[in-house]
């Protein structure tokens, strides 16, 4: 392979060059849109999960305050048992 890419491209017919340009022009916006949508979706998902975790933490804090104040382990077990069925809360620790 002698020569660099610009030299080799100069030898190609105009039709081939135009096809490459149009292919590039059609693929580029698709790639940019896909990356943008994926990034925004990831950020939105992260925000939704963060908000949900903050709501759950606030609710647990409010529910646990009297349990801790009265040192009631049975009530604490019942409270955590109620949350045990939620698959999204695996690994909740206090």
Q: What is the pLDDT of residues 2-45, one digit of tens each?
A: 557 777 778 889 999 999 999 999 999 999 999 999 999 999 99
pTM of the full structure: 0.58
- Every domain of the chain and the residues it spans: 5-89
CB 94 within 8 A of CB 60: yes
Nearest-angstrom CA–CA distance, 61 and 67: 10
Nearest-angstrom CA–CA distance, 83 and 77: 10
- What SS3 string covers 64-77? HHHHHHCCCHHHHH
């Amino acid at each position: 392979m002698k020569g660099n890419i610009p030299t080799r491209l100069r030898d190609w017919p105009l039709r081939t060059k135009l096809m490459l340009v149009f292919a590039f022009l059609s693929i580029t916006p698709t790639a940019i849109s896909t990356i943008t949508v994926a990034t925004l979706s990831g950020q939105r998902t992260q925000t939704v999960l963060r908000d949900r975790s903050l709501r759950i933490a606030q609710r647990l804090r409010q529910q646990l305050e009297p349990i801790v104040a009265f040192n009631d382990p049975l009530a604490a077990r019942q409270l955590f048992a109620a949350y045990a069925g939620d698959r999204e809360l695996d690994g909740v620790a206090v």
